[in-house]
Amino acid sequence: MKNEAALKDLVKEKYAAIAEQTIEQNLSSCCGAGGCSTEVYNIMSDDYTTMQGYNADADLGLGCGLPTQFAKIKAGDTVVDLGSGAGNDCFVARAQTGETGKVIGIDFTPAMIEKAKANAAKLGFSNIQFREGDIENMPLAANVADVVVSNCVLNLVPNKDGVFKEIYRVLKPGGHFSISDVVLVGKLPEALQKDAEMYAGCVSGAIQKEVYMELIHHNGFEQITIQKEKAIVIPDDILVNYLNEQALADFKNGQTGIFSITVFARKPIVENFCTPGGGCC
């Protein structure tokens, strides 16, 4: 696997191309990455079309859950969407937070920011912003967000611990997040772990479910809850690009599982743990 900088460049390049793909292409692949399937149409993404605020132009089919459905967004809230893409979750969040609230989308792919801003301009919304930036170093002040959402993005980030630290920083005391992401149970075959294309496709960038949950706990969050969990089945016509016949059979008959989870957690109103660099450790 490449180093962190190289992986970020890979994801940025890939998602710039994905911004120009159709939703049909993205839904039949792994988070829009290559290896489109002819066996399965909707590999990871859930259906947004019945949600208030849904905008078809902003739906690239790149998610693995419906975090805004579970995010407990209230009127007047400030909501931050990490890896906002073409703006799909931002527009759904805006329908929930209303005109008195504020929605900020952060994405480090310029083509996605341009697409999201164009979609917002067509809708005439004045309380949605899209900012180009890295979610490991968000272009936001501390304690500004009531709610953070994200859909199938943290698995693309090498430094997941750094992202959770940033989420903690930007949330107001008592604020919370709802994040959909891809996690693993058991070890992926080596070919899937090492392949850069599958990294951009959300699979080999995923970490073990128990490690993911521990990162959330380690960073001081409370009320940690899995709101939804579903198995992700990568179809054979994608897997054969990475695994020979025997390796494919072993993978399918083994104990490894790829799952989408939607996780809720809250930042304490009063901090009760020692933050890194806080001088108390």
Write the single-letter amino acid at 257: G
Q: What tens digit of pLDDT does each residue of 143-199 get?
A: 999 999 999 889 888 899 999 999 999 999 999 999 999 898 888 777 776 654 554
pLDDT recorded at residue 199: 42
Residue 281 has pLDDT above 70, yes or no: no
Backbone angles phi, psi at 22, to 5 degrees: -85, 160
Structure tokens at 275: 């933050």
Structure tokens at 266: 């809250």
* CATH code: domain of residue 121: 3.40.50.150
Q: What tens digit of pLDDT does each residue of 66-121 get?
A: 999 999 999 999 999 999 988 999 999 999 999 999 999 999 888 889 999 999 99
pLDDT recorded at residue 266: 98
How large a percentage of the chain has pLDDT more than 90? 47
Structure tokens at 156: 């693309």
Between CA 193 and CA 200 the distance in angstroms is 11
Between CA 53 and CA 56 the distance in angstroms is 10
Q: Give the residue, 207 or 69, on which the prediction is more confident.
A: 69
276 lies in a domain? no
Between CA 130 and CA 120 the distance in angstroms is 9
271 lies in a domain? no
34 lies in a domain? yes
Q: Which domain holds residue 117?
A: 4-266
pLDDT recorded at residue 29: 43
Residue 33 has pLDDT above 50, yes or no: no
CB count within 10 Å of CB 97 equals 22
pLDDT recorded at residue 32: 45
Q: What total of structural domains would you count in the chain?
A: 1
pLDDT recorded at residue 274: 57
Residue 57 has pLDDT above 60, yes or no: yes
Between CA 214 and CA 230 the distance in angstroms is 20
Residue 31 has pLDDT above 50, yes or no: no
281 lies in a domain? no
HEC secondary structure over the chain: CCCHHHHHHHHHHHHHHHCCCCHHHHHCCCCCCCCCCCCCCCCCCCCCCCCCCCCHHHCCCCCCCCHHHHCCCCCCCEEEEECCCCCHHHHHHHHHHCCCCEEEEEECCHHHHHHHHHHHHHHCCCCEEEEECECCECCCCCCCEEEEEEECCHHHCCCHHHHHHHHHHHEEEEEEEEEEEEEEECCCCHHHHHCHHHHHCCCCCCEEHHHHHHHHHHCCCEEEEEEEEEECCCCHHHHCCCCCHHHHHHHHHCCCEEEEEEEEEECCCCCCCCCCCCCCC
Can you tell me the mean pLDDT for 239-268? 86
Q: Which of 271, 267, 94, 250 is nearest to 187 (CA)?
A: 250
277 lies in a domain? no
Can you tell me the mean pLDDT for 189-217? 74
| Distance, first Cα to last Cα, the chain | 33
140 lies in a domain? yes
- pTM: predicted TM-score of the whole model, two decimal places: 0.83
Can you tell me the mean pLDDT for 188-211? 68
**Where does the pLDDT of residue 6 fall: very low under 50, low under 70, confident under 90, or very high at 90 and above?**
low
pLDDT recorded at residue 158: 84
Mean pLDDT over the full length of the chain: 82
Can you tell me the mean pLDDT for 24-50? 55
pLDDT recorded at residue 179: 98
